[in-house]
Structure 1
């Protein structure tokens, strides 16, 4: 009779171990299929790199202490020597797995503004696939679904942000802001207002360089510091999307964004050139933009529209305001771009800017829906105060210097085989 516990114990132990592996298995044990499938496990770097410590009192957004935690003013690029070791470890891990293509860097040119690759390197080749040269990397987003228009604005917070904020508020319209990290640091009040409107915050690098000209470490710094300031200033949200400045990316840059930080690259299929309205002389005019907008908005709805627009100036925002009624009259399904592409999930660990922030968010990017996996809610965010005093924000502690291990206890569940085995043994024992 005493043999029963001895027979059952290994089965119970096996069931417990199997379930523990399901809950906490390291992502290296999951077959990778870049870029169509991206797994976020609790142990994946994107969670450990940007995990908040509830025992730390974070400096308010806009405070001197908050701003001091980030790289100095552009045009100087972020110093790669100050990159947190955890970010570099994630990069080196991806390189070791051969997930980051080893391709040459491009160089800036004074001719047409497009960076050029070394002689003999074809930017449209499958190995390079430069988006500057209109090569589309599988998994990168260029088009909206048919009938949809994804709204987004680059380069904020900037001079035109105030005018844009008032218009969006009046029309109860949400958009995605692809923000420059240093602009967030320098314009915290506008950032707070845009976030508090429920708009989605995405990444547009720290200093706005041509990303294919940057080394692997520089790409990590440009993305990582921008993610860090967004994360620390939005109650812990981890951005899900990024847009390369000038639309300049290739397979190497896109892979670093995806493999190290879990970011999906979004480009566009129509360009207003509104950024050049305030150039001297102007590179375009409001009349030209209005004409282009009318053509796009009254034309075919397949594919849907992703229009490049900026909140750089009141002039650029005014061209959007003029086109907005046409968007409505032409019966476009108008959405914030991050909500549209993310299928109602704008962040890697939160549905939107007002929803709870999750500790774990395992997403299958191919289907757009989370598979069955444990997920816990850590907090429900409170809007940041207009005075610049948010409820929970961060200066910039080293991303994982005070990271606490996942405290969630693994669930013990017996699988069907284990249950059947126990039942058979019990019957024999009787």
Structure 2
């Protein structure tokens, strides 16, 4: 299936997906539906109601199952207030070695991760066999970070859609999952026009962060752990990157920090209903 065919299919299904997402958000917050997500929308921490439990946290963490909440409208930067752990998210994949290290770390420890994939990076195909069982079980979630990491605010509407659809194709064909509705705009650059274009192909939820490991560049393992000590706190969405070797050395210490603080890890699907 070429990208034009996929784009038509996504456009056809996105309307229903966006409507369902918006209605769920309005039921939780009492707000009127918006025609497009707002670039300045603040994350909501208003609890919804659901009896569907998530998977339990990792074996080394406090077992604290939580109920899924309705997905809020607009940009999400944090988990709902009271969430007893973090969403550890990982971007890019410039280093195949770091992607492998993250996958093995997850398999060994049970840590739940959300990867924001750039399909252009060979790392994701290099380690697809290692990742597939984790993705299939739901321990690892895949989300859309565009095909090759452009600043979306500098692209045309068609360019924005093409970036997301091409990456959607890659994720679906390689791992057999639908990454919608979450996308992370490269560099965090997005506005109402970007959000509207993304929503037209089903990517209705811009997902940012509330804490960073600051490892998009080449920093030391000690520095990464220092940032984790600052940001590994309940209800935080923390951004890391699979780009440089300092991350590999930090992973065991990051796992220990989670255990010491009794913080669970959650994927986005663990926390939010679609």
**TM-score normalised by length of structure 2:** 0.68
How far apart, CA to CA, are the structure 1 residues paired with 2:152 and 2:132?
26
| Among 258, 276, 289, the residue aligned to 2:199 | 258
1:306 corresponding residue in structure 2: 237
| Among 145, 159, 177, the residue aligned to 1:204 | 145
Distance 1:209 1:85, change over 3 A: closer
The unaligned stretches of length 5 or more in structure 1 are 1-51, 53-68, 71-81, 102-125, 130-134, 278-283, 344-362, 364-430
CA contact (8 A) 2:92 2:242 kept: yes
Distance 1:319 1:263, change over 3 A: farther
CA contact (8 A) 1:156 1:180 kept: yes
1:58 corresponding residue in structure 2: none
Structure number with larger C-alpha Rg: 1
Deviation at 1:100, TM superposition (A): 5.9
2:272 corresponding residue in structure 1: 342
SS in 1 for 2:90: strand
The unaligned stretches of length 5 or more in structure 2 are 16-33, 44-72
Deviation at 1:325, TM superposition (A): 0.8
1 or 2, which has the higher helix percentage? 2
How far apart, CA to CA, are the structure 2 residues paired with 1:250 and 1:142?
15
How far apart, CA to CA, are the structure 2 residues paired with 1:85 and 1:208?
19
Distance 1:319 1:193, change over 3 A: same
How far apart, CA to CA, are the structure 1 residues paired with 2:176 and 2:87?
25
Task: Indicate the RMSD between aligned Cα atoms, in angstroms.
Answer: 3.2
2:88 corresponding residue in structure 1: 151
Deviation at 1:150, TM superposition (A): 0.7
CA contact (8 A) 1:88 1:217 kept: no
CA contact (8 A) 1:310 1:317 kept: no
CA contact (8 A) 2:6 2:165 kept: no
2:255 corresponding residue in structure 1: 324
Aligned: 1:191 with 2:191: no
How far apart, CA to CA, are the structure 1 residues paired with 2:241 and 2:162?
23
Distance 1:211 1:324, change over 3 A: same
CA contact (8 A) 1:175 1:335 kept: yes
2:172 corresponding residue in structure 1: 231
CA contact (8 A) 1:157 1:190 kept: no
**TM-score normalised by length of structure 1:** 0.45
Deviation at 1:182, TM superposition (A): 1.4
Deviation at 1:201, TM superposition (A): 1.2
SS in 2 for 1:205: coil
